Amino acid sequence: MREPVTIVEVRKLTRCSCGEGMGPGDRAGRIGGRKRLLCLWCLADLQAGREPPRHRRGASAWPVASGHPPPRRRSARAARDRHWSPLIVAVVVFVAVGVAYLRIGVMGESATTAGSGMHVPGTDMVIGTGARSLTGGGNGYDLWPPVPSDAGAQPLGAPAAQTSTSTEFAFIRTADDAGGSRPVAWDPCRPIHLVVNDAEAPAGGGQLLQEALAQVSTATGLQFVIDGPTSENPSADRGPVDKDRYGDEWSPVLVAWTDPSVVPRLAGNTAGLAGPVGAPFYSAKQEHWVSGTVSLDGPDFDRILTEPTGWPIARAIVMHELGHLVGLQHVPESNELMYAENLGQTTFGPGDREGLRQLGLGPCFSG
């Protein structure tokens, strides 16, 4: 795709050419000055050279299982569940076209907010999150917080043994360095710290999170530590460091049980949004994830948990979002949990597991 892309804000309910619904406040692209708007899904497909799928119209967006009725309104708030694609994860918008929170950044003279996203060829548009590619002097490490005391010289855990040769997985971002192409991943030599805003948490929300984290930890070998509660709300401007709130360290991942009044992108049919934020880097070998956000629609989970199979479905939603957090994006295969629509899948599929295994083999940055 070589024509210039202009990012605009959708003003009214409309649909992308692939059927993806878009509403007021959503981001979309206009190619070559034409009037037709394309959702971030289609921009991602064009960037990757894929033919945009034509089956999304009318399909239930992740994570409402096929056949479920539309979410009921609660307290004048619609229970939601549509998904942005993470190509993120700087706009999604918060992170990961495919899903998660993404932020859309524009390449500047000395930096790009490309952290977890993609550059649309022939344009100055970057879809991704938080990481900054820097030019000029420096070595990158001088821009990072001090190594924490709980970091190790070796990985703290090991991913599950390879059980599949499936290639049905996709990474939010890959980096090409001297060792070849690799997925951008988290530092396996330090734990991933999380804080939880439980303002709209459903009954059992803490247990859901613990169980989902355990599944991702087993698959990747990455270690997660919940530091405790927070009053912080999700923000599209959340960066990798917040000294006023968390001190001179990478900000912990924010897991927020919230609703559309706080996170408007949870409106419509969206139960969750998630994505990582990357560290500033000068070279590809320095690229890695250091923070992120997971936003979960508490009213949606309240509804889902009243259903006979509500617990495994709800846990699968959180697992899906955590998959985005550690670096996976949506895939077109419906038997994978990272598929953009929930067709009843409650466990990671073979492609999901292989993608997660590879994300657990990232380099250490704590030495």
Pairing mode, strands 224-229 and 192-197:
parallel
Q: Residue 305: its pLDDT value, please? A: 96
Extents of the domains making up the chain: 1-56, 152-359
Distance CA 48, CA 40 (A): 12
* pLDDT attached to residue 284: 86
State the pLDDT at residue 40: 73
Is 152-359 CATH 3.40.390.10?
yes
Q: Tens of pLDDT along 145-184?
A: 999 999 999 999 999 999 989 999 999 999 987 667 899 9
CB 190, CB 150: distance < 8 Å: yes
- Mean pLDDT in the chain? 75
**Which alpha helices (H) appear in 97-151, and where do they start and end?**
none
What are the CB-based long-range contacts (under 8 Å, 24+) for 4-13?
A: 4/31, 4/32, 4/33, 4/122, 4/123, 4/124, 5/29, 5/30, 5/31, 5/43, 5/120, 5/123, 5/125, 6/30, 6/33, 7/91, 7/104, 7/125, 8/37, 10/37
Amino acid occupying residue 295: S
Task: Name the residue with tokens 């918008």.
Answer: 93
Give yes or no for a contact between 125 and 47, defined as CB atoms under 8 angstroms apart: no
Identify which of 352, 278, 271, 257 has the alpha carbon closest to the alpha carbon of residue 313: 271
Q: What is the pLDDT of residue 126?
A: 31
Closest CA to 361 of 233, 182, 207: 182
- Judge whether 276 and 173 are in contact, CB under 8 Å: no
What are residue 214's phi and psi, to 5 degrees?
-60, -40
5, 11, 103, 288 from 283: Cα distances, Å: 27, 39, 22, 11
CA Rg, the chain, in Å?
19
Q: Is 338 exposed, middle or buried, given 0-12, 13-18 or 19+ CB atoms closer than 10 A?
A: buried
pLDDT tens for 42-72 read 776 665 555 555 433 333 333 333 233 333 3
pLDDT digits (tens, 9 = 90+) for 343-360: 889 999 999 999 999 999
* pTM reported for the whole predicted model: 0.67
